[in-house]
Amino acid sequence: MAKNYTFPILFDEIKSLSITNLKRLKYLQKNCSINGNVYWKSRGENTGNISINTSLIQDNNFVEFIYTCNDKSYNYKVNLIGIKSNLNKGIIWYFKCKFTGIRCRKLHLINGRFQHRSILKTGMYSSQTQSKYYRSLDKVYGAYFKSDSYYSELYSKHFKKYY
């Protein structure tokens, strides 16, 4: 008997915000309070935006999210936790999810709020929804199917050829 479809929410397809994005946009600077906006696009169209205020002043480290989702306004703070790197190369920043209390590097927009993915028990990544046969094909032919994306990555603006 076949398994019933569950149609899970895919974490790859929902809006998310990560520490890496904030660093890339230069919102995480020591002893500074920075305001800015983050925009999401899909196929060239603007699908959403959020206003972000970051503060890394002494012990008061937080990110404030201000946005509107489904005609409801949201404004709340998420604490940032800084941990010394084991390589002695600065501080590694983490979000402390306001709703689960979990330390994480990425927050997803679930039910109108940016939260850790563990709050959604039925959520999956797109690779988890693929059939066993497709995963076996991907192991053999995956590099061929993804050759265009590898080529564009190789000749992208900031690609590092050597480390």
pLDDT tens digit string along 145-157? Answer: 888 888 888 888 8
Per-residue pLDDT at 161 exceeds 80: no
pLDDT band (50, 70, 90) for residue 67: confident
DSSP conformation class of 90? S
pLDDT band (50, 70, 90) for residue 53: very high
What does residue 133 show for φ and ψ, rounded to 5 degrees?
Answer: -65, -45
Q: Exposed, middle or buried, 67 (CB in 10 Å: 0-12/13-18/19+)?
A: buried
Q: What contacts 62, CB < 8 A, 6 or more positions away?
A: 54, 55, 77, 78, 79, 80
Name which of 60, 58, 38 is nearest 48 in CA terms. Answer: 38
The pLDDT of residue 1: 67
Residue 80, classed as helix, strand or coil, is strand
Cα–Cα distance measured from residue 95 to residue 115, given in angstroms and rounded to the nearest whole number? 10
Convert the pLDDT of each residue in 18-51 to its tens digit: 999 999 988 888 888 889 888 888 777 888 888 9
Q: Which helix (H) or strand (E) holds 150?
A: helix 147-154
Name which of 17, 8, 5, 15 is nearest 121 in CA terms. Answer: 8
**Is the distance from CB of 94 to CB of 104 less than 8 angstroms?**
yes
